[in-house]
Amino acid sequence: EAGVTQFPSHSVIEKGQTVTLRCDPISGHDNLYWYRRVMGKEIKFLLHFVKESKQDESGMPNNRFLAERTGGTYSTLKVQPAELEDSGVYFCASSPLAGVYNEQFFGPGTRLTVL
């Protein structure tokens, strides 16, 4: 069974440009999460999809970030326009269930560098 995949693995862009990150969850997993880790700090929750619906987007930093999950399969996270403080590693995770002790399966992350 394929794990969670993320594309690209690395992205380097200039401040003010747009970047789109993609996440393909494990097949059949209705729950999809985005997290972000700024260098040296903790991994922080951004948002949670259940199928194609946003269940919780309380962690999204501001309106420059837009997440979508068309058809309840893969998800994209767009940053427009990118700022220096958006640099970090963006992780995607998926799970079949969304209970308090249900494991989330993580992808390897996308390292975003904004210059």
Tell me which residues touch another protein (CB under 8 A): 3-4, 33, 35, 40-45, 48, 55-56, 58-59, 91, 93, 98-109
Nearer to another protein, 88 or 109 (CB): 109
Nearer to another protein, 7 or 45 (CB): 45
3-state secondary structure of 98: coil
Say if residues 90 and 35 touch (Cβ distance below 8 Å). yes
Q: How far is the CB of 81 from another protein (least distance, A)?
A: 27
Q: How far is the CB of 1 from another protein (least distance, A)?
A: 14
